[in-house]
């Protein structure tokens, strides 16, 4: 409850007490009637004070419930934002993993192709080397025959 409301409630309470007391004291009556009026006024003042205290308590309870609802809403808001961010990150990570798997598959295919080309090239070198040895033998035989 704000200070203004608290001052207002306190002012009403104090005004009731002062007004009731002055009314009883200034009224032309006998002592017994005055005591009776004071007793009735006291009961009325206490009743009013009780009613105001109950009202104040209800207002506090409502304010507390409002604050609790606002807090719960904010917590749920933050929770949803966090969950959304986590989902975004998971989606990005899954996409990155998929991209990396595609790159890996492409590299594996490229490696397989390179190995295949190397094997072909090595096979060609072996044939060329054998051809070179055979040619060298033929040349040696020709020289010997001359």
Structural domain includes residue 114? no
Q: Are the beta carbons of 88 and 29 closer than 8 angstroms?
A: no
pLDDT tens per residue across span 32-44: 776 676 677 677 7
Higher pLDDT: 57 or 121? It is 57
Structural domain includes residue 70? yes
pLDDT at 69 over 90: yes
Structural domain includes residue 47? yes
Domains in the chain, number: 1
Structural domain includes residue 110? no
pLDDT at 65 over 90: yes
As a whole number, mean pLDDT of residues 80-106 equals 93
Q: Average model confidence (pLDDT) for the chain?
A: 80
23: containing domain: 3-105
Structural domain includes residue 12? yes
pLDDT at 99 over 70: yes
How far is the C-alpha of 89 from the C-alpha of 96, rounded, in Å? 10
């Amino acid at each position: 409850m704000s200070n203004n409301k608290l001052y207002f409630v306190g002012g009403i309470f104090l005004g009731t007490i002062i007004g009731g007391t002055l009314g009883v004291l200034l009224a032309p009556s006998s002592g017994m009637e005055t005591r009776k009026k004071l007793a009735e006024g006291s009961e009325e003042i206490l009743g009013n004070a009780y009613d105001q205290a109950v009202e104040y308590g209800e207002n506090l309870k409502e304010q507390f419930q409002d604050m609790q609802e606002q807090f719960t809403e904010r917590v749920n808001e933050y929770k949803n934002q966090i969950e959304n961010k986590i989902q975004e990150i998971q989606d990005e990570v899954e996409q990155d993993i998929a991209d990396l798997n595609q790159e890996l598959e492409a590299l594996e295919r490229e490696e397989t192709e390179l190995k295949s080309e190397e094997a072909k090239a090595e096979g060609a070198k072996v044939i060329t080397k054998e051809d070179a040895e055979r040619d060298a033998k033929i040349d040696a035989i020709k020289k010997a025959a001359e």
